[in-house]
């Protein structure tokens, strides 16, 4: 009887040892043929919006991000849409700058049909802000020169 228990115990231990491989899992990768939408985000100066927060909103839900991440060093961000419709990608920095891209995905193959970018600064305001900054610089230089001449 003791011998039977010993054999059963060894058999059970052997099964556990051999089945350990079945319970374990590893990692891997494969090349995907899925079509990604790749975007580049930049400031009005042309400087890349590097490592900035990026959120993707699907056509089915405009409140909760479908995907989130960060742009890379060159301001690039990519995602693979899973449905047709208008997708929105919002990239923002810690200073309050934000750029929103609207991308229309259509067809069975989820083709990119076009899109438009929307800046946090309204059209025309950027030129106004630059002009105002230029006038301010000139005014401040004039005040410094005037102050030096007064003394």
Q: Is the residue at 49 inside a domain?
A: yes
pLDDT for res 17 = 60
pLDDT tens-digit readout, 107-138:
665 555 555 555 555 545 566 666 766 777 78
**Residue 74 forms part of a structural domain:** yes
H or E segment to which residue 85 belongs:
strand 85-92
Domain hosting residue 106, numbered range: 37-128
Q: At 90, is the pLDDT very low, low, confident or very high (cuts 50, 70, 90)?
A: very high
Identify the pLDDT of residue 19. Answer: 56
Stretch 132-149: mean pLDDT, rounded?
A: 77
pLDDT at 26: 83
Residue 82 falls inside a structural domain: yes
114 is a domain residue:
yes
Q: How far is CA 81 from the centre of its chain?
A: 13
Domains in the chain, number: 1
Can you tell me the distance from the alpha carbon of 69 to that of 100, in angstroms, rounded to the nearest whole number?
15
Tell me which of 62 and 80 has the higher pLDDT: 80
Report the pLDDT value the prediction gives residue 18, as an integer from 0 to 100: 59
- Is residue 81 within 8 A of residue 109, CB to CB? The reply is no
Find all residues with CB under 8 Å of 104, minimum gap 6, and list them.
85, 86, 87, 112, 113, 114, 115
Residue 92 has pLDDT above 70, yes or no: yes
Q: What is the CATH number of the domain that holds 111?
A: 2.60.40.10
Check if the beta carbon of residue 79 is closer than 8 Å to that of residue 56.
Answer: yes
Residue 106 lies in a domain: yes
- At residue 138, the pLDDT reads 82
Span 16-69, pLDDT tens digits: 665 555 556 788 888 988 889 999 999 988 999 999 999 999 999 989 999 999
């Amino acid at each position: 009887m003791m011998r039977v228990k010993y054999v059963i115990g060894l058999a059970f231990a052997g099964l556990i040892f051999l089945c350990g491989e079945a319970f374990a899992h590893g990692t891997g990768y494969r090349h995907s043929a899925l079509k990604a939408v790749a975007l580049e985000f930049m400031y009005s100066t042309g400087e890349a919006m590097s490592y900035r927060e990026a959120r993707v909103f699907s056509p089915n839900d405009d409140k909760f991000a479908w995907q989130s991440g960060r742009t890379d060093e060159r301001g690039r961000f990519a995602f693979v849409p899973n449905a047709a419709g208008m997708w929105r990608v919002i990239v923002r920095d810690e200073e309050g700058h934000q750029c929103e891209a609207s991308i229309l995905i259509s067809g069975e193959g989820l083709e990119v049909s076009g899109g438009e970018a929307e800046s946090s600064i309204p059209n025309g305001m950027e030129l106004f802000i630059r002009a105002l900054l230029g006038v301010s610089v000139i005014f401040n230089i004039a005040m410094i020169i005037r102050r030096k001449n007064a003394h």
